Structure 1
Amino acid sequence: MTETTIAARGVALDLLRDVLRKSVPFDDAFDAHPELSGLDPRDRSFARLLVATVLRRLGQIDALVLACLTKPGLPKATVHDILRLGTAQLVFLGTPAHAAVDTAVELAEARGAAPYKGLINAVLRRIGREGKAMADQQDAGRLNTPDWLWLSWRTAYGTGRTRGIVEAHLHEAPLDLTVKADPELWAERLQARLLPTGTLRRPSGGSITELPGFAEGVWWVQDLAASLPAKLFGDLRGRRVFDLCAAPGGKTAQLAAQGARVVALDRSARRLERVAENLSRLHLEAEVLAADAATWTAEEPADAVLLDAPCSATGAIRRHPDILRLKTPDDIAKLARAQSRLLAHAVDLVKPGGTLVYCTCSIQPEEGEAQIDRLLSRDERVERHPVTPDELGGLTEIVNDRGEVRSLPGMLADLGGVDGFFVARLRRKAE
């Protein structure tokens, strides 16, 4: 094996430790790893895919490892993680058995686990022979889903839809793009599928920055579901819009591209740097402001307010499988309280007769439907402004009977799926 091959797996081992042992979000751990810059693009991509696969299939992988151990109990953390990486390669990534096993043994030698080389070799060779057949007998969706999430989704959506959610999580999401103009033209140039909402969809993988139109600022990456909230304001030309909790800026770009006068607000000055960079590349303008959206006040209210509230992101597990391993019920409760404060204050920021759109990339009802119910029960200044499927390219499946957008992984399967999202549109009553 080459040194870079071993190095890529070593980076993957570090990243897995950071996520599972230190609770560091995968993207943060990946961006901060000091050895990534020394890997070629192919090895960087492999390291990322390998860790994402382990996180996505962790329940299955741990069951396979446990079944192939000759003694009860799991080995120490480093050995366990090496076995996880090897199993992911053998069962789910199609890595040749000799490559996966040999590099795992070499990795154990390099990471102070030489006494376990025999165990690693024996377990992975058995998994290489029997692992795929064993995996075919597993209940993959259920095994890879923490109990608390499975139960919460089953209570909210029933067993059938929950099955659809967890099975959608087994697969990496496609690459969705939002274009400023001429979606038909750019669908052809990008060899993408034009979806009913105007989103362009390509298979995942490859270098985004090398695609046609990136350097010219023609498009930006944005999931189909994430593109919907900014479409619900009607004609925004010349209107003043507050985009609260705006980073990383996809919705800011949409609003600016529609001709709105946008104030993009976020607590994180560092994250706002990315918003400014994206706007610059896209040749779009917005006022970017570092402030807490729960307390910030404006000289005058806006015609429209978009609140993309911080949330658990359980609707984005297809893209961020570490969410399965990092979030807890306590996180949901804490986030729900913060969302409630943000939503209550957002009403103050929109003028009478104006529109407020609230959204989260979560499939937890506490972060979606329950927030709107609570607001409407305590604030008589606002009322529902129901969303219709016609506004969303006729996608009836993702509009609930209350006129809210409720998309779930597993929906829109004929289009290639969708992230989980909640969107409610409200109107502040005229005084």
Structure 2
Amino acid sequence: MMTKPETPKTTDAPQNAQPKNAREAAVRTLMAVTLKGRPFDVALDDITSELDGRDRAFVMQLVMLCLRRLGSLRVLMRTLIDRGLPRNATWTDAALLTGLAQILFMRTADHAAVNETVTMVKNLSGKERGFSGLVNAVLRRAVRERDALVAKLDAMPDADLPDWLQQSWSKAYGPAVMQDIARCLQTAPPLDITLAVGQDADTWAEALAATVMPNGSLRRALTDVAELPGYTDGTWWIQDMAASLPVMLLGDVSGKHVLDMCAAPGGKTMQLVSRGATVTAIDRNRNRLKRLHANLARTGLKADVHVADAATFTPKTPVDHILLDAPCSATGTLRRNPDVIWTKAPEDVEKLATLQARILDHAFALLPTGGTLVYCVCSLERAEGKDQIDAFLSRHKNAKRAGISADDLGGMDALVTPEGDMRCLPSMMSDAGGMDGFFAARITKDQTA
């Protein structure tokens, strides 16, 4: 078991501005995430800006795979290298990880994975070039012993989680469920689609080669989204099935004024507008709001959008309902964002829980008597979910938990907790592709106590 990837502090990596090829770009991107803590998408865009689409897709697939299996790949590396690597051999370390991932998990030619990785290390400017023989030996051994090594990796799914997440999820859900979640996080998620209201699910499922899920989402294999029918027409948008459920908890919102707090990139905003609501959408991140505006433009939907702090914003006109998708640790989205596994820590959860409480209190102050507030987070941490709501209810005697039922969630009774909240785990519906981790609670406001 690992507390965090054991990466060194310095590197002999080449200093050229752009990588020479896709494999070098993958190594650079992996190092940017694991050594510098850069968000994966930001690092990918910077490092692959001059690569063509095919090479960029290769880099994305390879680095995402390395991040999903980072813990177990490091354990395996220690068994393949007798003396280990010195702590300053960061480039060699990352090169070995990408080489092993290609050989053990990807359909790339073995000779290309070995030879190009070895050449990369040979071309380093410092002492690390001396590790090229070691890299060659390790990768060739991986080719020879592929099946046995893959079996070893598959036998230790919890190694791909830092210790604090193992402990947190074991305490919250039990060790067996923790292991199931860890296994699900090792695989790429499917593509989930939300249709605009009025579109026929069965018709679009056939057109998109998709399956209709219990809540009405469509699910299909990953592909280039922009090439699918209906995308440019704005008939649908990409949204994980779990992420689409909180809006359903507001019921009929037609003609209602709904405040969508922390709204970017806009999936829930589009759901609300499509269902007939008048929506005020806010987010403090101006760059993320650019995606919301783009999504609204593509779908032809309209909302009143503001750059604003959810902890202080007050709409010009009173609202009927509030949807608060609070800032969180995002540990429920690790299938899609595996860099989060190695860039978050317990103290981040504590800070976010404090922020969530502040925003939640402000949101409740804006809610009219009889109104509904749906609080949700894409987190698996109890501190951001059940514990957050329990503490909120203890502070506000006129707040009531409006229990959620399976009927609210397309009949998915496994998602309803004993308290009447919604809890999605990545391991749920795993035979159908799983889902993101999500928590949601529905709160109503009585007369002032």
| RMSD, aligned α-carbons | 1.6
| Aligned 8 A contact 1:60 1:135 in 2 | no
What whole-Å deviation, never above 9, does each CA across 1:344-366 have from its counterpart, x for those lacking one?
Answer: 11101111110000000000000
1:156 alignment partner in structure 2? 172
Question: 1:6 deviation in Å?
Answer: 6.0
After superposition, residues 27-176 of structure 1 pair within 5 angstroms as 27-33=41-47, 36-74=48-86, 76-112=89-125, 113-138=128-153, 139-176=155-192
| Aligned 8 A contact 2:184 2:430 in 1 | no
SS at match of 1:425: strand
List, as ranges, runs of 4+ consecutive aligned residues in structure 1 with deviation greater than 3 Å. Answer: 72-75
- % same residue: 44
Question: 1:315 deviation in Å?
Answer: 0.6
Name the stretch that deviates more: 72-81 or 248-257: 72-81
Question: 1:5 deviation in Å?
Answer: 11
1:394 alignment partner in structure 2? 411
- From 355, 360, 371, give the equivalent of 2:377: 360
SS at match of 2:320: strand
Q: What letter corresponds to residue 211 of structure 2 in structure 1?
A: R
Q: What letter corresponds to residue 217 of structure 2 in structure 1?
A: T
| Aligned 8 A contact 2:19 2:25 in 1 | no
Question: 1:131 deviation in Å?
Answer: 4.0
Aligned-partner Cα distance in 2 for 1:92–1:330:
33
Residue 228, structure 1, aligned to residue 228, structure 2:
no
Aligned-partner Cα distance in 1 for 2:278–2:161:
42
SS at match of 1:351: coil
Instruction: Identify unmatched segments of 5+ residues in structure 2.
Output: 1-17
Question: 1:111 deviation in Å?
Answer: 3.6
Question: 1:14 deviation in Å?
Answer: 1.1
SS at match of 1:424: strand
| Aligned 8 A contact 1:56 1:170 in 2 | yes
Aligned-partner Cα distance in 1 for 2:296–2:379:
26
Name the stretch that deviates more: 292-301 or 304-313: 292-301
Instruction: Normalising by structure 1, report the TM-score.
Output: 0.95
Aligned-partner Cα distance in 1 for 2:341–2:347:
14
1:405 alignment partner in structure 2? 422
SS at match of 2:353: helix
Residue 424, structure 1, aligned to residue 437, structure 2:
no
Question: 1:381 deviation in Å?
Answer: 2.2
| Aligned 8 A contact 2:95 2:117 in 1 | yes
What whole-Å deviation, never above 9, does each CA across 1:42-80 have from its counterpart, x for those lacking one?
Answer: 211110010011101111211222211132444610010
SS at match of 1:400: coil
Instruction: Normalising by structure 2, report the TM-score.
Output: 0.92
**Change in 2 beyond 3 A, CA 1:5/1:212:** farther
SS at match of 2:145: helix
Q: What letter corresponds to residue 353 of structure 1 in structure 2?
A: G
Aligned-partner Cα distance in 1 for 2:83–2:408:
59
Aligned-partner Cα distance in 2 for 1:288–1:236:
18
Name the stretch that deviates more: 119-128 or 338-347: 119-128
After superposition, residues 310-321 of structure 1 pair within 5 angstroms as 310-321=327-338
Aligned-partner Cα distance in 1 for 2:96–2:84:
15
Q: What letter corresponds to residue 7 of structure 1 in structure 2?
A: N
- From 334, 346, 350, give the equivalent of 2:351: 334
